[in-house]
Structure formats: structure tokens, C-alpha cells
Amino acid sequence: MRLNRLQSVMDQVVARNGNEPEFLQAAQEVLESLEPVAERNPEWVAAGIFDRIVEPERQILFRVAWVDDAGKVQVNRGFRVQFNSAIGPYKGGLRFHPSVNLGIIKFLGFEQIFKNSLTGLPIGGGKGGSDFNPKGRSDGEIMRFCQSFMTELQRHIGPDTDVPAGDIGVGGREIGFMYGQYKRIRNDFTGVLTGKGIGWGGSLARTEATGYGLCYFMEEAMKPGGLSFDGATVVISGSGNVAIYATEKATQMGAKVVALSDSNGYIHDPDGIDLPLVKEIKEIRKGRIREYLAAHPAATYVDGCDGIWSIPCDIALPCATQNEIDGQAAALLVRNGCKAVGEGANMPSTPEAIECYLANGVVYGPAKAANAGGVATSALEMSQNSMRYSWTFEEVDRKLHQIMVDIHTQARSAAAEYGDPDNLMLGANIAGFLKVARAMYAQGIAY
């Protein structure tokens, strides 16, 4: 689909953010989906809803100085983009990875607006992070970095203002260090971060939520085509939080997961991945995926992570990073019989890959819908913090499951209402947008 009514909005996005390719990619995809919405709602066009939604409410950039184990001063850059607060406090993770820049944080924050809306919970969209590389750093270095990062970030966030969480490179350890520093400075024990430890405000099932939620969503998405995880061969990229718990749930649902990766390469184990071993390597030892071979010599390890999509599978779950499946990889997946792609990572498919899925009748679960279980459970953590009460694992998991079923229903019915019933990307973009647009319209423009 090409832009028509919303072309001038996109032109302005390009003029302002020309050097941010990931943000341009995310904005183009969403605006294309919103063309028919603009046509039906001229009052939203007149009120500048589309022009406003692509511009963050606030962008914060800051210096993060810290001292490494050798006593050398290191300087990183910190980011927090508070994109949209129409339906609730800004909410979205923090990413620590050397590739982080403002454009990446903006694409993630922009996607987060629609994802958070789809959860049905009152949370706005935001994202943050740093170009800090945690790999090879000692616990002491990670702690000092996190403390320095939070010393600045704390003045911009709060339980009713902006509630960050984890993302790539930010797990329980980092959230702990940042929460400790927030509390030290503010003297407040509040739910200002999610992904906290059990026993000090964390929610049961938050660790599992994104991966589990992805499988719950895909189970629904595949039903109309008579597909399911039961008996399916599944390839999953990454071996971090999302990949590990997607592997766990897909396996519980009867699938055989045969491959996982990290940024160095991938393992292929046709007998099915030994997940307890992967958890030990990645969660405890913080090692590399190739260490899997020491215990499973019959499995293979291939250097470079792109080749993972050449492994034949019924279902592919990209759970590593953005743009990891391009048009060629998508064509290869389809040629090898892949019938469904569910996005655990954010924007893991290029526009050419998405075109390939849609043209070939592949069931496509877009990230904003399929991986929304993580932020949904973070919002459940916020609710528990406000109530000063904790739900059981089963209770949170049951709520998560229902939320993913509801997200699928919303996406499918919006897609049907706008004339393309199986296009869950169109449906998710539209359904996520409608709630935010109504709120922005009702709240007026600041003259």
C-alpha cells in the first residue's frame, strides 16, 4: 500500500529524522496501515493527530560517566524518549547495546505506543537505553554504570510519570542495580521500574511473559488455518529472555524447537533443544550459545547468525533483534515450508520480508501484537505494586493468556473491518492507534 492522505505526514518525518532509518521504517509501516483510518476520520486529520503521533512528546539525552575496573573513566550516552502519554504514564524498556542511538530508541518508543494500547491497560509509550556494551563487563562495572545511568534518569521518571523496564542487555541484575539507586536518591519504595525481583515488588511470570505471550498469540493466530504448535518444528533466533521462554512454552505446547542463536552464531539440534542446558549457559554462566556443543556433540554450530533461517521449519519465531529477517531469508523460509512467523523481537522483519509473508499466505504475527505480553505483565506488576499485593504465578499467567487472546481478537476484527481479514499487521496497527487517537482528540491541543 502506498501513502496518499498521510504522505505529507511522512514527508515531515523524513525531513526531521532523515538519518534515523529504523524510525522511518516503523513510521512508514504504521502510516500506510492508517491510510483508511485517515479517510474515515477527517476530524483527526484536521486536529493533526497523525502529525502529532509521529513526534515524541519529549526526548532526553544525557551523559553517563562511570569508572571501570582499571580505574579508567568511561563515557556513554543515555536516552529516554517519552513518546506518547495519551492513555497512561510512559512505559517501555531500556536497551543497553553498543548499536543504540536515538533513531533506534525512537523506533522502539513509537512501536510501544500501539503495543501498549493493544494490551487494553492504561500505559503510554516510551523507550530508553544506552550505547553501553555490557558484554565482558564485571558485576561491579555493570553496577557502577547502572547507578550513574539512574542518577540522571531518576529526575525524569516516576510511578505515575514514566515506568521503564528491561530489554536487550537489561535483565533482573540491571533492574536491581537501577532500582537500588533510584531508592537511594528518592527515598521512595515505589513501582518505578518493572521486572523487579520477586520479594521486592516484582511480579511472578514477568520473566516468562514475552516468550509465553508470543506462543499464546500465535496459537490463536494459527487456529483459523488449522495450524498449531503441536507436532510442529520451530526455529527461534536469539537465546535471551524472549527466546528462552518462547522455547519453553512452544515445547510445552507440543512443538520441537530445533535451533537457537546469539550474535555470534546458531546451534541446530534436530533432536530438540535441551532447554535446561541453554538456561544454564545463558542465564547462569552468561556464556555463548556454541558452548551447547560440549554437552550435545551431535548438534551443529554455525558461525554467523543469519543462516538460521535456512533451517526448514513449520514456525519461525525471530526473538533476537530488528531487521534480522530480510526478503531473501523470508523467501527461503517459505520455500522450505514455513507456514507461520511470530515476532518476539521488535521489528525483526524488513518490509520486503513482510511482503513475502503476506504474498505467500504465511500466518504473520507482528511484533506489536505478538510480543505485547511482556509489557502487559509489566502493567500487571504496576497494578500489584499499587495494591501492595502479589498474585500467584497461575493468576498472572491466566491474565496474560487472556490478554493475548484479546489482542488477537482486536487485531483480527480491525483487519476485517478495514477489508483485509487475515492481515494482522494492519489490524494491530489500526486497533492500537484507535484508542490513542480518541484519547488525543478528547484531550485537545495545547494552544
Ramachandran area for residue 121 (φ above 0: left; ψ -120 to 50: alpha; else beta): beta
Locate 75 and state its grid cell.
Answer: 563515557
C-beta separation of 381 from 196 below 8 A:
yes
Q: Is 319 in the site for ligand NDP (CB under 6 A)?
A: yes
Q: Is 240 in the site for ligand NDP (CB under 6 A)?
A: yes
Of residues 198-217, those binding ligand NDP (CB under 6 A): 210
Residue closer to ligand NDP by CB (options 219, 262) is 262
> Nearest residue by C-beta to ligand NDP?
240
Q: Tell me, what DSSP letter sits at residue 156? A: G
Render 271-327 in DSSP notation, one character per residue. Answer: T---HHHHHIIIIIS---GGGGGGT-TTSEEEESSGGGGGS--SEEE--S-TT-B-H
C-beta separation of 70 from 104 below 8 A:
no
C-beta separation of 439 from 86 below 8 A:
yes
Residue closer to ligand NDP by CB (options 41, 429) is 429
Least distance in Å: CB of 382 to ligand NDP? 14
Q: Alpha-carbon distance 196 to 181, whole Å?
A: 13
* 265-268 β-sheet, strand order: 300-303, 265-268, 256-261, 233-236, 315-317, 340-342, 363-365
Catalytic residue among 115, 127, 249, 339: 127
Region binding ligand NDP by CB under 6 A among candidate stretches 55-63, 256-264, 385-393, 420-428: 256-264
Q: Is 220 in the site for ligand NDP (CB under 6 A)?
A: no
Residue closer to ligand NDP by CB (options 89, 240) is 240
Residue closer to ligand NDP by CB (options 27, 38) is 27
Residue 64 bridge partners (DSSP): 76
Least distance in Å: CB of 288 to ligand NDP? 7
Residue closer to ligand NDP by CB (options 155, 285) is 285
Beta-carbon count within 10 A of 79 CB: 24
Residue closer to ligand NDP by CB (options 345, 380) is 345
Region binding ligand NDP by CB under 6 A among candidate stretches 76-84, 251-259, 338-346, 439-447: 338-346
The site that binds ligand NDP (CB under 6 A) totals a number of residues, namely: 23
Least distance in Å: CB of 238 to ligand NDP? 4
Of residues 271-310, those binding ligand NDP (CB under 6 A): 305
Distances (CA, A) of 414 to 71, 422, 427: 56, 10, 5
The end-to-end CA distance of the chain, in Å, is: 35
Ramachandran area for residue 411 (φ above 0: left; ψ -120 to 50: alpha; else beta): alpha
Q: Is 26 in the site for ligand NDP (CB under 6 A)?
A: no
Among 92, 166, 202, 366, binds ligand NDP (CB under 6 A): 166
Least distance in Å: CB of 213 to ligand NDP? 9
C-beta separation of 310 from 335 below 8 A:
no
C-beta separation of 408 from 220 below 8 A:
yes
Region binding ligand NDP by CB under 6 A among candidate stretches 61-69, 151-159, 261-269, 295-303: 261-269
Least distance in Å: CB of 167 to ligand NDP? 5
Least distance in Å: CB of 322 to ligand NDP? 6
Q: Is 92 in the site for ligand NDP (CB under 6 A)?
A: no
C-beta separation of 322 from 111 below 8 A:
no
Residue closer to ligand NDP by CB (options 47, 299) is 299
127 catalytic? Reply is yes
Locate 95 and state its grid cell.
Answer: 536497551
Among 24, 113, 193, 242, binds ligand NDP (CB under 6 A): 242
Query: Hey, which residues are catalytic here?
Result: 127
Contacting residues toward ligand NDP, per CB under 6 A: 166-169, 210, 238-243, 262-264, 305, 319-321, 344-346, 371, 374
